[in-house]
Amino acid sequence: MKKLKFTPSSSDRWMSCPASVKLIADIPKPDTTIYAKNGTACHNVADVCLKKNKSPHDFIEKKIEVWATPKNDYIPFEKSMAETVQTYLDELALLRKEYPKAKYTSEKKLSITPVPRLKINGVVDYNIKQRFGDIVVVDLKAGVGVTVDPSESTQTWLYAIMAINNQWDEYDKARMIIVQPNEKYGDTRKEHTMPVSDLKQWYYDECIPAIKLALGDNAPFGPSEKVCRWCPALPTCKAAAGHVLSAAGQPIEFDPRQPQEFTNAEIGQILPIIDLYKKWSSAVTAYAIDELRQGRPIDGYKLVRGRANRVWIDEEAVQKLLKRLKVKVSDMFTKKFKSPAACEKLLPSDKREKLKPFIDKPEGKLQLAKESSKKPAVSIEPAAEFNDDFDFFE
């Protein structure tokens, strides 16, 4: 078995499901996604800007080296990434005004040793230390995806504990700040403040016991939608499968007055089960395809080719042939105007406003979302009757 890993970024999982730590130890690390590479590039540029007093716009169109699996890569730094970094730097500038005499660190590698012979490492994006005052950790989330709440982010809490470095008596408050410049439905800056004494109690009463459970024999599983979502062991984990299948088979409190059709209340009970089942089944399917690609058989299944569109082998040769066959050049090509987003990138930031009068943003397709979603609810007036303007099928 490989070395067991307890990373701050996966702490939500291993604290809720201690058994997952050993379960994923032998699973190879997946290739780094382009979204993760872009995020790393933003962090790297922000660090250079802070240490060398540069602007992120100085790096536009330059290639930034990032650490990645299976090998390091070079990512082109775009205007949108520069704007993401600038938003982050602006927040840090405001914090430095609050703490003019404090100590600051950027992209600092820190660690804690919760139990003997186990070190948990992490890189704290930005840290402010004011002795006998506040400890501040700032975490940059450069992506567009999941909204992160610092009041629930155990990753950020562990970063604060790493920054405190067992000097619990030297700080009064811990401020955990998450900056998400690309957040669409909430604040781009979110903060959670708590007494250092409460953070210490959480560390010793909840975090360390979870680690000891994970290191021991017969560690408990704790499958749930949140815990299993990013777990590498999801497609092969029996505890996750049991949770999904039991949820799919759990009794629904049917309304006896409606024996033939579901009520909306019953639909509300069914939707979470469907959502969890879809995520699990997708993960299992992806795992099965990968196994077959590696030459490991799965009873009753094989790999086949899906439908593919035809492509030209040599476009220039085809164009010459079509000309000889008397086909007009104008008939060979389709000209398409660029999108608003693409055209905006052709202009400097201060001139993009001139395009606004010519841009319309249609309403997106209606989607189901949980009540806890940050997206605002759509207000819809029930249609009195069907008419030609009503598009029943999306």
Phi, psi dihedrals of residue 5, rounded to the nearest 5°: -115, 130
CB-based contact 253:269 (threshold 8 Å): yes
Pairing of strands 133-140, 63-66: unpaired
Comparing C-alpha atoms, which of 176, 210, 216 is closest to residue 196? 176
Which whole number is the average pLDDT over 275-295?
84
CB-based contact 347:355 (threshold 8 Å): yes
pLDDT value at position 300?
Answer: 84
What is residue 235's DSSP assignment? T
Give the three-state DSSP class for 111. strand
Same domain, yes or no: 180 and 263? no
Number of other residues whose CB lies within 10 A of the CB of residue 32: 18
Residue 349 within a domain: no
Residue 277 within a domain: yes
Largest CA distance in the chain: 85
Number of other residues whose CB lies within 10 A of the CB of residue 295: 6
pLDDT value at position 381?
Answer: 59
Which sign, positive or negative, has the C-alpha torsion 289, 292, 297, 302?
positive
CA distances from 48 to 87, 89, 100, 107, 208 (A): 15, 11, 21, 10, 35
Same domain, yes or no: 96 and 44? yes
Same domain, yes or no: 14 and 125? yes
Alpha-carbon distance of 273 to 247, in angstroms, equals 6
pLDDT value at position 160?
Answer: 97
Q: How confident is the model at residue 393 (pLDDT cuts 50, 70, 90)?
A: very low
Same domain, yes or no: 242 and 98? no
Q: How confident is the model at residue 18 (pLDDT cuts 50, 70, 90)?
A: very high
Same domain, yes or no: 76 and 136? yes
Phi, psi dihedrals of residue 118, rounded to the nearest 5°: -130, 120
Residue 354 within a domain: no
Q: How confident is the model at residue 303 (pLDDT cuts 50, 70, 90)?
A: confident
Q: Which of 293, 308, 333 marks a domain boundary?
A: 293
Q: What is the CATH number of the domain that holds 208?
A: 3.90.320
Residue 228, both tokens: 């299993």
pLDDT at 269 over 90: no
Alpha-carbon distance of 339 to 367, in angstroms, equals 24
pLDDT at 331 over 90: no
- Could you tell me the residue range of the domain that residue 270 belongs to? 234-293
Tell me the per-residue pLDDT of 27-72, one tens digit each, with 9 for 90 and over: 888 888 899 999 999 999 999 999 999 999 999 999 999 988 888 8
Same domain, yes or no: 133 and 175? yes
CB-based contact 277:228 (threshold 8 Å): no
Tell me the per-residue pLDDT of 345-354, one tens digit each, with 9 for 90 and over: 888 878 888 8
∠ CA 88-362-264, nearest 5°, is 95
pTM, two decimal places: 0.72
The highest-confidence range among 86-90, 143-147, 344-348, by mean pLDDT, is 86-90
Number of independent structural domains in the chain = 2
Which whole number is the average pLDDT over 385-390?
38
Same domain, yes or no: 199 and 253? no
Alpha-carbon distance of 349 to 346, in angstroms, equals 9
Which whole number is the average pLDDT over 193-214?
97
Same domain, yes or no: 195 and 66? yes
Same domain, yes or no: 13 and 82? yes
Which whole number is the average pLDDT over 79-108?
95
Residue 370 within a domain: no
Asked if the peptide bond before residue 70 counts as cis, ω within 30 degrees of 0, the response is yes
pLDDT value at position 255?
Answer: 59
Residue 27 within a domain: yes
Alpha-carbon distance of 359 to 260, in angstroms, equals 48
Which whole number is the average pLDDT over 245-257?
63
Give the three-state DSSP class for 128. strand
Residue 365 within a domain: no
CB-based contact 11:119 (threshold 8 Å): no
Residue 327 within a domain: no
Tell me the per-residue pLDDT of 96-106, one tens digit each, with 9 for 90 and over: 999 999 999 99
pLDDT value at position 135?
Answer: 96
The mean of the pLDDT values for the chain is 86
Same domain, yes or no: 138 and 196? yes
Alpha-carbon distance of 154 to 331, in angstroms, equals 59
Tell me the per-residue pLDDT of 270-280, one tens digit each, with 9 for 90 and over: 777 777 788 88
Q: Report CA 297 to chain centroid distance, whole Å.
A: 33
Alpha-carbon distance of 366 to 374, in angstroms, equals 15
Can you state the angle between helices 264-293 and 238-248, rounded to 10 degrees?
150
Same domain, yes or no: 45 and 174? yes
Same domain, yes or no: 185 and 99? yes
Label residue 203 left, alpha or beta by phi (over 0 means left) and psi (-120 to 50 means alpha).
Answer: alpha
Q: Which of 276, 293, 310 marks a domain boundary?
A: 293
Alpha-carbon distance of 233 to 238, in angstroms, equals 9
Comparing C-alpha atoms, which of 152, 140, 151, 134 is closest to residue 188? 140
Residue 318 within a domain: no
Phi, psi dihedrals of residue 200, rounded to the nearest 5°: -65, -40
Number of other residues whose CB lies within 10 A of the CB of residue 128: 22
Residue 78, both tokens: 């775009």
Give the three-state DSSP class for 236. coil
Tell me the per-residue pLDDT of 355-373, one tens digit each, with 9 for 90 and over: 888 888 887 776 667 667 7
Q: Which of 264, 293, 322 marks a domain boundary?
A: 293
Number of other residues whose CB lies within 10 A of the CB of residue 141: 23
Q: Report CA 152 to chain centroid distance, whole Å.
A: 15
